[in-house]
Structure 1
Amino acid sequence: MAQTITDVRPFTRVKDVDVEMTVVKPQAVIGLGNMLILHEVASSGLTPSGAGLAASPAGNHDTGSTAGGSAQSLDVPNITPAQPVTGRADALSADDVMNGVLSRKTDPITGAQYTEYASADAIASYVSDKTDPVYIKADNYFMQVAASDRVAVLDYPAGKLADALKAFWYYNWTFLVFDKPQFTSDTKASDDAITASNICEANQDHFLVLQAAQPAAYKQFYAQNYTIGLIHDLKEPMDAALIGSTANLSVGSVIWKFRKLKGITPDHITVQAKEAIDRVHAIAYIEVSGQGETSEGWVLSGDYIDSLHGDLWVKTNMGNKLQKYLQDTDKVPYDQRGINALASIASQVLQQAYERGIILEQEVYDSNTGETQSTGRGDFSVSSTPRSAQSQKDRSARHYGGLSFTYHRSGAIHTVTVHGTVQSDTFTNSRA
């Protein structure tokens, strides 16, 4: 086999003009809008055998010497990796790559397997047929105008959802849906739906999207900030459509009301039905003025998805930019120079958030004209305390905890009331 040589220079020729070209390849979509589909795998020969931790037999512990020279019995469990619930190896085969599988990873404790696919057709190669609920969700997701270049699927063993999500929580996704309906009746949610909702609420950096047939189903999710509740016919995947239509658009530039969903039939509903949906802060897909639109853009607590998504953007980018600065700088001095550099990065992130529409624009009242005018600046501030204000413990540990910021969220207009006056020349007996 010929050896690959990496230090050969290109040939030259006698000429006066050289043209050098760089091919810019598309980057993977890594942001805050990617979707994960949860698929429970029933117990079978492919599910994990055991809990993953096999303790040493009683009375058969290793004995070793401590640093002081005395012997001590150590009870260290052996980790027995669980087999993947899908039966597929993590290493991608040539067929996997050709089919459109981007990556695959197994949790060694539960056997849950996380896989990223480039298209719905890629998923079709690994399910029985195109009536499979995972395929249906992915197919509708990729149908939407703002779909990502990938969708992730988490195959998890029954009863192990919490452990499976913990293993893959910080992979490349932000919104999660179940492949199958999670309400056993019009009002009762599955244990997995409640678990996923509570996990999202505890971490405050991912969103669960549920779909039910009746508003009463969301009573038990009252006040959840990171769970989005949809009301629609369960035969149509409105959850995947909503994420694909909106989540990957520029955070701060879009709201989640008025969205048009491809492949989803708008409902004709009464005022009373709409009021019932609004009462639990759920979202329907309804026809208004001859067009389909999402009825609202809120989570089940009544807060708005775009506001929480914007907060997540700030949190994520603030952490990433400061982390990158620490990694790329040889030394950040623990004095005012280093503190000012950190504060400057925080200000840059908030300025970007303002330019995106996440942060409100500052306004001032002009007493001369009686009008409120824009300043062209974001309503945010960054403060940093000096080195002398840090505790001796923090200085000793090289930890700086004096950086803080505040900002005012930018809202949006969802409804409008217009007051008009009509002048008439006709006399009538009307009391109006």
Structure 2
Amino acid sequence: MIILSISDVTVTIAVLKPTPILGGFGKPLILGSSAAGKDFKNYSDIAAVLVDYATTTEEYKAAAATFAQKNPPAEIAIVSRRTGTTPEALVDILPKLFLKDWHFLISTSTLVTDITTIGDAIEADKSRQYFFRTSVQADLTAILVKKYTRTYGFYHIAAEVAKYPEAAWVGAVGSLPVGSVTWKGWTLVGIAPLDITATELAAIHALGANTYVTKSGTDVTSDGKAVSGDFIDLIHSQDFVVFSVQYAVQDLFNQAQAALSKIPYDNRGIAQIESAVRTVLQRAYLQGMIAVDEDGVPLFNTTFPPRSQMDAAQIAARNYPDGQFDFVPAGAVHTAAIRGTIKFA
């Protein structure tokens, strides 16, 4: 993932939920803590992590769970918050971390106060996703009231929580092409399933959390939802589209300058901007984010009014404010109901 801290492009996206009818985005950051603290640093494998973090440290354990999966990320980052002399508060370090290159946050802390502090910051920033773990259902109850859409809980017994199941989950799924997969139904290396009934599983889901169970003889993640009930892959796809559109249009501006040219404020320039946006949406469709209609046509649209419809003040200010796009997410099938009939004749 590339950080665009300064840009001439603003992208906003609204998720329009249907009214009921009657009838690289894969990079994890591990946030730990220690007396002396350690600066933000990237690591390409677990051997590199061992240089800075002993096997007994929580940072190492989280990194090991991440790298142990079948589809591990090419790179992770780790930072250790200073807790000794002149300690760093979570609320102070988080804004600095949002300026760094990562997408998924994993914290070594399971304190509910730390989880909500991080969750609040993640929700306010609107560009990252946070995975936490817990073995305390009462903590899930406290977190549920926050209705986080970018914060995802992983419930398990204490012994398995110590193995960082949420880090394993990010390691297994996070680096795959955005939109190509859902977060439900993944087998995690090194994590044992939770032995519970269907009723107990439903209770965990009702608390806004996910867990790890056995279905049809296979150990899998039980769901793929945020605390709010939104799907993780939908939020991930939304982030991908917003960032990619912003990057593509800013790159269009940059390339024009590099070529000693400009984007003219007329229908030619507007068409260039629209083309950049449509290229992103086409890529999103190819990665599985966007649905198709009955004829196989991707369900996305762009609307970029011509210069003649622009306000004179906007033209004078060299600002084009009215470009729009929309798309229908492809989603995924998570459950099914199938009826059968036995016939004797």
TM-score by length of structure 2 reads 0.86
Which position in structure 1 is the counterpart of 2:116? 194
Shift of 1:29: 10
Shift of 1:216: 3.1
Letter in 2 for 1:340: A
Which position in structure 2 is the counterpart of 1:4? none
Structure whose CA Rg is larger: 1
Q: Deviations over 1:386-413 (max 9, x none)?
A: 2233333322221111211111111111
Partners of 2:291 and 2:91 lie apart in 1 by: 37
Identity rate, percent: 29
Which position in structure 1 is the counterpart of 2:65? 140
Shift of 1:130: 0.9
Say whether 1:303 aligns with 2:237.
no
Which position in structure 1 is the counterpart of 2:273? 342
Q: Secondary structure at the match of 1:229?
A: strand
Which position in structure 2 is the counterpart of 1:174? 103
Equivalent residue pairs, number: 312
Partners of 1:232 and 1:342 lie apart in 2 by: 48
Which position in structure 1 is the counterpart of 2:43? 117
Partners of 1:346 and 1:275 lie apart in 2 by: 41
Relative to structure 1, the CA distance from residue 140 to residue 29 in structure 2 (aligned partners, 3 Å threshold; closer, same or farther) is: farther
Partners of 1:379 and 1:309 lie apart in 2 by: 19
Q: Secondary structure at the match of 1:406?
A: strand
1:282 to 184, 209, 231: 209
Which position in structure 1 is the counterpart of 2:312? 392
Shift of 1:41: 3.1
Q: Secondary structure at the match of 2:264?
A: coil
Which position in structure 1 is the counterpart of 2:138? 216
Partners of 2:228 and 2:62 lie apart in 1 by: 25
Say whether 1:258 aligns with 2:185.
yes
Q: Deviations over 1:110-143 (max 9, x none)?
A: xxx211122222222223x312111111011111
Q: Secondary structure at the match of 2:95?
A: helix
Relative to structure 1, the CA distance from residue 261 to residue 29 in structure 2 (aligned partners, 3 Å threshold; closer, same or farther) is: farther
Q: Secondary structure at the match of 1:375?
A: coil
Structure 1 residues without counterparts, runs of 5 or longer: 1-27, 47-84, 87-112, 184-188, 363-373, 426-432
Which position in structure 2 is the counterpart of 1:163? 92
- Relative contact order (C-alpha < 8 Å, sep 6+): which is higher? 2
2:31 to 38, 58, 62: 38
Shift of 1:417: 1.3
Letter in 2 for 1:355: L
Partners of 2:236 and 2:195 lie apart in 1 by: 29
Q: Secondary structure at the match of 1:376?
A: coil
Say whether 1:416 aligns with 2:336.
yes
Which position in structure 1 is the counterpart of 2:176? 249
Relative to structure 1, the CA distance from residue 120 to residue 41 in structure 2 (aligned partners, 3 Å threshold; closer, same or farther) is: same
Relative to structure 1, the CA distance from residue 259 to residue 114 in structure 2 (aligned partners, 3 Å threshold; closer, same or farther) is: same
1:205 to 127, 132, 136: 127
Relative to structure 1, the CA distance from residue 29 to residue 200 in structure 2 (aligned partners, 3 Å threshold; closer, same or farther) is: closer
Partners of 1:208 and 1:350 lie apart in 2 by: 25
Partners of 1:231 and 1:152 lie apart in 2 by: 24
Is the CA contact 1:144–1:262 (under 8 Å) kept in the aligned structure 2? yes
Structure 2 residues without counterparts, runs of 5 or longer: 4-23
- Cα RMSD of the aligned pairs, angstroms, is 1.9
Is the CA contact 1:386–1:402 (under 8 Å) kept in the aligned structure 2? no
Is the CA contact 1:215–1:282 (under 8 Å) kept in the aligned structure 2? no
Shift of 1:325: 0.8
